Amino acid sequence: MLTLDVATRLELIEALWGSIADDPASAVQLPLTAAERELLDQRLREHREDPTAARPWAEARAAILARR
């Protein structure tokens, strides 16, 4: 695995995470602290209040990768 370039490894991580996030049964297996749960709830509230403030994942990812 470490012979793969960083971009490929990130794509694999994204694919693995997507397979977990898309499976409702997996969500209950993710351990969250009370602070993490509160942060997620806060971000969800903020998104519901102003959904236009969010950026699509593809755009955010491109910006992150462009910084490297």
- Identify the pLDDT of residue 5: 93
Structural domain tally of the chain? 2
**pLDDT mean over 32-56:** 93
Q: Are residues 64 and 38 in the same domain?
A: yes
Q: Do 38 and 62 belong to one domain?
A: yes
Q: How many other C-beta atoms lie within 10 A of the C-beta of residue 56?
A: 8
Write out the residue range of the structural domain in which residue 24 sits: 1-30
Taking alpha carbons only, the member of 57, 56, 67, 63 closest to residue 14 is 57
% of the chain beyond a pLDDT of 70: 99
Query: Do residues 47 and 37 both lie within one domain?
Result: yes
Q: How confident is the model at residue 1 (pLDDT cuts 50, 70, 90)?
A: low
Are residues 36 and 7 part of one domain? no
Could you tell me if 1 and 11 lie in one domain?
yes
Same domain, 43 and 53: yes
Q: What's the average model confidence in pLDDT over 7-20?
A: 93
